[in-house]
Amino acid sequence: MFYKPSKVAIFPQVIKSLAVTAMLGFLTACGATSGGNREPLLTDSNSKLPYVDAGPDQTVKVQSNITLSGSGSDRDGSIASYQWTQTSGKAVIIDNPNRPDISFRAPKGITEQQITLQLTVTDNEGATNSDSLAITVVPMTPEEAALALDNALKKIGHLVNVVTLPPYPDEKQAVATVEGIDINNNGTRDDLEHIIYQGMNLLDGVTLDTYNHMIYIINMIQPSDKAVENSISKVAIYCSYQALPENVKKEMPLGFVYMIVLDTQARKTAHYRSVMSAPRNLGPELCVSA
């Protein structure tokens, strides 16, 4: 009689247990541990990456001046170099990008935008590490934009360091009389001095003499509080105006000059009561010296 060997039943739980045991043995042989931390092979355990901090994220206004202070350190050595780079957003110009502290100007824009900068440090053994920060650039309000423009005009131009403007007068006081407000007592309304300054300051070739020449013309047009018959010569005004540089005349036509001086009905009335008769059509031939 032959005996047929019977099959040995292996329960699923036993199969699962054997599979887990085999897998653990394989992982242990490859250097893994049950804790989940993996040390790369062929890595010098004494070498550590340097620490780097680019700083916190920021929200700034367009065209504002920004200063960032990054930092780096190395537990087993020293920091050999710093390098800032821009990784996204409208391009900015970074001053001294190879130093931990940098400065730059936020880009222009009429909508909110974001730029990203990255600081990379390298230690004395050549190991590197990087950190990034995001800068959100928001547009100015209309009031902030007007103030920024006013401040910019005060800092640039040909007349900045040579002309001292009087305080800007209150608008109601400036139009209260024919002669207006003249705080610096130079014979010219303070509001006109500001208008002429703003109109000429950024024009090419403008000098203090050019500015004073325009002020002289303003004073020729500007009437006194009481009309004085035959005290204003339109021919003299026209001929004096012709001596201005061409770019100034193009930017500030004589008609515009009259308009800003005679900006109220009282001033127009006083002017025309004081003006002496003149040819209807003024021309260069009237200005030729005899």
Name which of 109, 104, 116 is nearest 62 in CA terms: 109
Residue 71: what pLDDT?
A: 96
pLDDT band, residue 288 (cuts 50/70/90): confident
Q: List the alpha helices (DSSP H) in the chain.
A: 12-29, 142-155, 171-174, 190-200, 208-221, 234-242, 246-251, 254-261, 265-274
Residue 18: what pLDDT?
A: 41
Give dist(CA 240, CA 256) in Å, integer: 15
Q: List the alpha helices (DSSP H) in 156-184.
A: 171-174
Greater model confidence, 40 or 100: 100
Dihedral through CA 200, CA 204, CA 209, CA 212, nearest 10?
-10
Q: H/E element holding 80?
A: strand 79-88
Average pLDDT over residues 23-36: 39
pLDDT band, residue 215 (cuts 50/70/90): very high
**Residue 134, C-beta contacts closer than 8 angstroms, at least 6 positions apart:** 57, 58, 114, 115, 116
Q: Is the pTM for the entire model greater than 0.85? A: no
Q: Give whole-number Cα distances, 4 to 7, 8, 9, 287, in Å.
A: 9, 12, 15, 138
User: What does the pLDDT look like over 172-194, one tens digit per residue?
Assistant: 999 999 989 999 988 899 999 99
For all residues of the chain together, what is the average pLDDT?
83
User: What does the pLDDT look like over 104-132, one tens digit per residue?
Assistant: 999 988 899 999 999 999 999 999 999 99
**259 pLDDT higher than 50:** yes
**Residue 193, C-beta contacts closer than 8 angstroms, at least 6 positions apart:** 165, 166, 186, 215
